[in-house]
Structure 1
Amino acid sequence: MSSPSPETETHEVELGTDEQWIAHHAIVTRVDELIDEGDEPPTWTIDVFDALESEGETATLTGYQARRLRELLTDYLDRADAPDEDVEHGSTAIDQLESVLESRA
């Protein structure tokens, strides 16, 4: 029996309310930007949003989804207009994502 591929292997990511809010905000912001540009949002954004909404403080994400969310949060926090509070909670979310990704590497 083979083990799941790194792309389909799932990770339990624990994010507090503030970290979830920043993740939601970053996803919605990016999806809105894509729609404004006439592009279709990637499926992973909707899947991650749903996982964050439906699973309390623990979201089950694939490796791909966790990496993409980490990249999205990093891009959002690198913006000059990112509020300090968003940077604080977003950085905590990134640390959580990196922790679960590294533990499976």
Structure 2
Amino acid sequence: MFFSKIIIFKTYIKNTQKMINSIDLTRLHNANYLQFQKDFLEIISRNNPTVLQIETNYNGLSDKINELEDLFKKVLANPIFQELLVLDESRDYAVNVIYYATLAYSYH
């Protein structure tokens, strides 16, 4: 049973690794990065970090993610943050408009 769990875990990691390799972590916004890390911890916790012999690393990462989450909650409480989110969304929209307009003109 132990080996079957390891094989299942390795298969899951192998399949998940394809998805993880396609993510550029430096491009994730704070909320997305935090959610990615929490999901990663959840995958590990479902597969028992003690059995995988990574409990100390798991606990260290878990502590850092909790610390990051506390910091992120403080940022969300800032009244200027909502305004920054709106401005960020507007900027992203403007960049997309410029990109697709340029792309459309390149077909003529």
TM-score bucket of the superposed structures, by smaller chain: 0.3 to 0.5
More helix by share: 2
The structure with higher relative contact order (CA 8 Å, sep 6+) is: 1
Higher radius of gyration, 1 or 2: 2
- TM-score with structure 2 setting the length: 0.40
Relative to the length of structure 1, the TM-score reads 0.41
